[in-house]
Amino acid sequence: MIDPKSFFDFSGKSILVVGASRGGIGASIAQAFKLAGGEVTITGMEDEPAETERGRFPYVQLDVTDDAAVAALAEATPRLDVLINCAAISRRNHEYDLAIFQKVLEINLTGTVRISLAFLPQLKKSKGSVVNIGSMYGNFGSPKVPAYGASKGGVHQLTRSMAIDWAQYGIRVNAIAPGFIVTEQSRPGREDPDHYAAVVKRTPFGRWGEPDEMAGPALFLASPAASFVTGVTLLADGGYSAV
């Protein structure tokens, strides 16, 4: 049996967190893997990461909708043990515009599969692990962000499909469905006082979550502690979905 104390030792492991440039969930997950000994690279859409993230990790500017850029990064990455797919956008109150709807799907859902396929050779070699970041909105209706909800439902479903397919290579594929978390992406929602209060009221813990609270679930899913766990979407929502 593996010594459980070593479950979260990622020394010598190579980790890529796609979508960690704005100090949100991706950055917290990246920091946790780094503290656990991993060699972590982060990406984001911006030319440079947010000030809080600058210099903490090697950074690659990467648009997940750009086939050539994704292929070039994969080509330049000799090894990969853990892939975290965290890049996403939402456009609250604007997603019934079809162009915006398509863009959200292209980044959040197609981007996830594009990145995963690009790094499949490295993951096969390492018998690695993929953690996709879904959302509770992948399970519930989301009238103000219909494309976002559809994309995240797609991410949960894609997670199951990839898990089945890639088990033959020894690769595990799981997802996390965060609840309502304080980040830049959730700022428009948090600025709506009714929405903010409704989340607090329904969440058994009575508050929004912090990005750091998503790090433990990511480490667990990517670790040997989860060696027989694949195809799951782990809810991390302060009990919101249990109500």
Ligand X SMILES: NC(=O)c1ccc[n+]([C@@H]2O[C@H](COP(=O)([O-])OP(=O)(O)OC[C@H]3O[C@@H](n4cnc5c(N)ncnc54)[C@H](O)[C@@H]3O)[C@@H](O)[C@H]2O)c1
Contact status: 107 vs ligand X (CB under 6 A): yes
**Total number of residues that touch ligand X (CB under 6 A):** 28
Contact status: 175 vs ligand X (CB under 6 A): no
Query: Which position among 59, 96, 137, 148 bears the catalytic label?
Result: 148
**Secondary structure of the chain as H, E, C letters:** CCCHHHCCCCCCCEEEEECCCCCCHHHHHHHHHHHCCCEEEEEECCCCCCHHHCCCCCEEECCCCCHHHHHHHHHCCCCCCEEEECCCCCCCCCCCCHHHHHHHHHHHHHHHHHHHHHCHHHHHHHCCEEEEECCHHHCCCCCCCHHHHHHHHHHHHHHHHHHHHHHHHCCEEEEEEECCECCCCCHHHHCCHHHHHHHHHHCCCCCCECHHHHHHHHHHHHCHHHCCCCCCEEEECCCHHHC
Mark whether 148 is an active-site residue: yes
Q: Among 14, 16, 22, 73, which residue interacts with ligand X (rule: CB under 6 A)?
A: 22
Q: Give the count of alpha carbons within 13 A of 226, CB side only.
A: 24
Kindly state the smallest distance separating residue 173's Cβ from ligand X, in Å. 16
Q: Which of 183/230 has CB closer to ligand X?
A: 183
Q: Which of 120/133 has CB closer to ligand X?
A: 133
Contact status: 144 vs ligand X (CB under 6 A): no
Stretch of 83-91, 93-101, 120-128, 227-235 lying at the interface with ligand X (CB under 6 A): 83-91
Contact status: 135 vs ligand X (CB under 6 A): yes
Kindly state the smallest distance separating residue 139's Cβ from ligand X, in Å. 11
Contact status: 153 vs ligand X (CB under 6 A): no
Q: Among 14, 21, 122, 233, which residue interacts with ligand X (rule: CB under 6 A)?
A: 21
Contact status: 115 vs ligand X (CB under 6 A): no
Q: Among 30, 64, 118, 163, which residue interacts with ligand X (rule: CB under 6 A)?
A: 64
Stretch of 2-10, 163-171, 183-191, 220-228 lying at the interface with ligand X (CB under 6 A): 183-191
Kindly state the smallest distance separating residue 164's Cβ from ligand X, in Å. 22
**Active-site residue list:** 148
